[in-house]
Structure 1
Amino acid sequence: MEKVKDKVIQKSICWSGLGEIGAKLIMPVSVMILARILKPEDFGILAICNMLIFFADIITDAGFGKYIVQADFADEKEQDSAANVAFWSHAILSLLIWVGIAANRTMIAELLGSEEYAEVITVASFQLIIMSLISTQMGILRRQFEFKKLFVVRICTVLVPLVITVPLAFWLRSYWALVIGNICGYSVSAFILFLLSTWRPKLSYSWCVLKKMFSFSFWSLCEGLAHWMIFWVDTFIITQAYSSYYVGLYKNSTAMVISIVGMITASMSPVLLAVLSRMKSDKDMYSTFLHIEKLVMYVLFPICIMMFFYRDLITIILFGENWMEAANIIGAWILMMMISVVIYSFPAEVFKSQGMPKYLFFYQLIYLLCLIPICIYASRIGFWEFVYTRVACISIQFLLFILFSKKILHWNVKPFLFNLIYPALLALFVMLLCVLIYRDSYNLVECILSGIVVFLLTLGIMYLFLRKDIRISLDKIGKKKIVMR
């Protein structure tokens, strides 16, 4: 079932990007309102619930969603059989784990910080069952490069907080508004995917297919758990060391940074995995990866540098003056995420696409073995020492990237480093502009105007000096044909 598609990368990036940009334009409006209604403690309780939910979802998905995207199937029948196994395995495991959470809710709540969280954890975890209905269909749509349909799902889903969560927050004035809003959001996603997807689960299950899938999915499961730990272990450490106020302050700030950076990366990562999965034996795979990453860096680096300098303004606009402590967390994390996307998030998609989640897991495991003791030690010194130490650990990730890219992916690191030169120069130029133009002022209008000036000057420099380089990468990607298997 081979089929060649032209300009599939450009079209996929376009629709995926529109979905994320649209979502990230809508989501801050909800956050701005909710942060002024609810307390940091409420967001802290939601963060604790989400930490458990996303951990359980990785186990229940077991890497099957990634297998659907990455694997090469002989025909539609084989793909349909794998999709059925993935769907029913995810759904049954989700139901069993939710029952287990409900039965042991008091013990789990005590482990996560307080017995009073027992009921909210039980209710919030119900979204596990809803999430199990989404994973397989999203995998199939990504595999088929149906990012236009995923755009519709993404936009409709992010409208839920505005329509449901915000009114509930005015009424309830508690974390229950956030919990109910999350459940409603995933329910909307499941309903829209059912309408847009042509695939439907059938009452069939093949143990032979399960065995074949699990050989890939086991390491993918391990990789998913390790990835979860990288982004949640710090929250767990804070939960044990500090009050829910600091948990909410830290997690809501970092979640906002991840959300803003995700406007760029989340639009590219699914496309990158789908594209590179179809290019396993293509000699131009590395070159295609570099061109895609360069385009991302041209957008990501200026945004992150500007966010660092204008972190106080961002905090006031998004959260309000009561959250000003969050500004330094946002500033530190935005610099870390700028580097992490380049040396971890995007290269991770290469490991997955090439069927090497085992090595990605080893990469993550080594990083965690360094990260956890360092963060525990820092948390005993103080909250802010913990924040800055967590960010500084990106240096460990950089060393691991160099090692694994050379030894496992057999990459020549020089092209990768050369690929960084122009985006890095652009970042330095933006930094210089911010130093010259930005003023640490509480005049909101003055700060916004200076930000607009920096943004326009950055666009001007990109047009005058980097237009040709950007065009070369766009042309290389546009000419690349993808063979669908």
Structure 2
Amino acid sequence: MGINENVQKASKWSLLTELLTKLMSPIVNMILARLISPEAFGMVATITMVTSFADLFTDSGFQKYLVQRKMTDSQELDKDTNVAFWTNLSLSIMLWFLIFLFRDGLAVAVGNKGLGNAISIATLSLPLTSFSSIQMARFRRDFDFKTLFWAKIIGILIPLFVTLPLAFVLKNYWAIVIGNIAVNLSNAVLLTIRSKWKPSLYFSFLRLKKMLSFSMWTLLEQLLGWANLNVAIFIVGRFLSPYYLGLYKTSIATTNQIMLILVNAFSPVLFSALSRLKDDSESFLEMYYSFIRKTGFIVLPLGIGIFIFKDLFVKILLGSQWSEAATFIGLWGMLKAINIIFGYYSMEVFVALGRPKYSVITQILELVVLLPVLIFTVPYGYKAVYLSRCAVVIWSIIIEMLFLHIVAKISVMRSLKSTRESIVSTLIMGCVGGAISQIYDNVIWSFFSVVICIFIYFITMLITSEGRKIVKEFLRRD
């Protein structure tokens, strides 16, 4: 089977996985947001900040190494996989032990004294993810996203049978913590059972040294990505109340759940495909532009739609107690759509080309702006923080576009051309939607306005031959 056929098949399964996951996640969050207070979500944000940081080290960047690297034969791949697995498992156990010992100090450091036990229990997931992350890399390398789909389906059902019942009983953050552990356990068991590769007692420090020369750059990029994502959570948690921390974290998480459905589906497939095409620059670029064309078809109208109908979005997904989050959610959705098209895939591009240091540079350039901006604005309150955070997104788009052009010769103009029909249709839809949404201020009219916007978008897309081609390309099942 050729690379294009593999990509189409993998994209279908990966997209289906993300669609089902993201359709279920908002439903679960809709219920949780009505059972658990914003303050409790703020505590979960603090716990997640610690666990996600530790989890970066348990992967150590090996997952992308196993996907990207050319191997001479299956034996070499199995040896590298064993080295990656035992390294990850050892690191995860050591990190969990250290977190357990210093759990109370960590809780104080992140601004939530008394969360020490919750943090130590939540990080029990670390050894579990050391199993699943390596298995995922093997499946992605082989474009076997069908197996990942079925594993994810089981994980989707766990919140229904674990998290939500616990939330009804406990009505606090423990429901989410225990539910997350159950999901990670499920992934570890199912992927290990389904995998052709099983851990064996093999290790080589020479191989580890070779792998680290690539993986350390990826690890550093992931650490900086974590910092860019969580530095605001840390600052808001330290200087504002748990209520505003919950608003901030949940606004971003809820919007990203919707906006990143296609991106999360396409990113692993795109990375696997670009890794195979890195020696063929023309095919490499064609593959990249094809992915942003498909992504833009959905995320551009979605981002503008969230901005226009932000109040409806919040009422449906979170409830009335989250109304203060509406403006941030609207701005974040719109800017995220632009970011996805013009820079979000940059890490996949840089790592696929074997040049992950450029992804590190872009993360550093974002962080050196983000940190002082947040420190300066947090004394002025929650609104100043989220407006400044949105402004930094614009900065990140600029630097990502610049380095994509420098490293991979990816042109801003060609990116615009690839998504031209979607951009024009989105602008028309946005103008109409912005006007009609002001006629009446009620939920029924808002729903009607959304339907009108969807209709207008598809009609304008189908007017031109290129627009019809994009629609057919996206809906194609083969």
> Under TM normalisation by the shorter chain, which class is it?
over 0.9
Aligned to 2:298: 299
The Cα shift of 1:394 comes to 2.0
Counterpart position of 2:322: 323
- Give the distance between the partners of 2:167 and 2:404, measured in 1 at CA: 47
| More displaced stretch, 458-467 vs 223-232 | 458-467
Task: Give the SS at the match of 2:422.
Answer: helix
By how many angstroms is 1:432 displaced?
1.4
- Residues of 1 paired with 2:217 and 2:116: CA distance? 32
After superposition, where does 1:173-188 map in structure 2 within 5 Å?
A: 173-188=171-186
CA deviations on 1:202-225 (whole Å, 9 max, x unpaired) are: 111111111110110011111111
Q: CA deviation at 1:63?
A: 0.3
Distance 1:358 1:129 in 2: 28
Secondary structure at the residue paired with 1:333? Answer: helix
Q: What's the CA shift for 1:475?
A: 12
Q: 1:31 aligns with which of 29, 33, 56?
A: 29
CA contact (8 A) 2:62 2:215 kept: yes
Hey, what's the Cα distance between the residues in 1 that align with 2:328 and 2:418? 29
Alignment match, 1:47 = 45
Using the alignment, how far apart are the partners of 2:19 and 2:467 within structure 1?
22
Kindly provide the CA deviation profile for residues 191-211 of structure 1, in whole angstroms up to 9, marking residues without a partner as x: 221232221111111111111
Following the alignment from structure 1 to structure 2, what is the Cα–Cα distance between the partners of residues 199 and 182? Answer: 26
| 8 A Cα contact 1:108 1:118, kept in partner | yes
Question: Following the alignment from structure 1 to structure 2, what is the Cα–Cα distance between the partners of residues 467 and 242?
Answer: 47
**Which has the higher mean CA deviation after the structures are superposed, 69-78 or 126-135?**
126-135
Say which SS state the counterpart of residue 345 (structure 2) adopts.
helix
> 1:305-333 CA deviation, whole Å, 9 max, x = no partner?
11111111111111111111111121111
Paired letter, 1:189: N
Query: What per-residue deviation string (whole Å, max 9, x for no partner) do you get for residues 392-422 of structure 1?
Result: 1122123312431233223444323333422
Matches within 5 A, 1:22-421: 22-282=20-280, 283-421=282-420
Q: 1:170 and 1:164 mapped to 2: Cα distance?
A: 10
- C-alpha separation between the residues in 1 aligned to 2:432 and 2:424? 12
Q: Deviations over 1:435-474 (max 9, x none)?
A: 2322375532222122122112222222333444416966
After superposing the two structures, state which structure 1 stretch, 17-26 or 398-407, moved more: 398-407
Which residue of the partner structure matches residue 470 of structure 2?
A: 470
Aligned CA distance change for structure 1 residues 172 and 390 (closer, same or farther; 3 Å)? same
Decide whether aligned partners of structure 1 residues 92 and 438 sit closer, same or farther in structure 2, where only a CA change above 3 A counts: same
**How far did residue 27 of structure 1 move?**
1.2
Q: 1:16 aligns with which of 14, 19, 26?
A: 14
Q: Compute the RMSD of aligned alpha carbons.
A: 1.9
Secondary structure at 2:260 match in 1: helix
So what's the TM-score if we normalise by structure 1? 0.94
Q: Any idea what SS the aligned residue of 1:133 has?
A: helix
Unaligned runs of 5+ residues in structure 2 are: none
Q: Is the 8 A contact 1:291 1:477 kept in 2?
A: no
Partner of residue 482, structure 1? none
Tell me if structure 2 keeps the 8 A contact 1:292–1:473. no
Counterpart AA for 1:192 = L
Counterpart residue type for residue 69 of structure 1: V
Segments of structure 1 that go 5 or more residues without pairing to the other structure are 479-485
Q: Distance in 2 between matches of 1:413 and 1:439?
A: 34
Amino acid at match of 1:355: G
Q: Find the aligned partners of 1:346 and 1:227 in 2 and give their Cα distance.
A: 13
- Find the aligned partners of 1:116 and 1:238 in 2 and give their Cα distance: 18
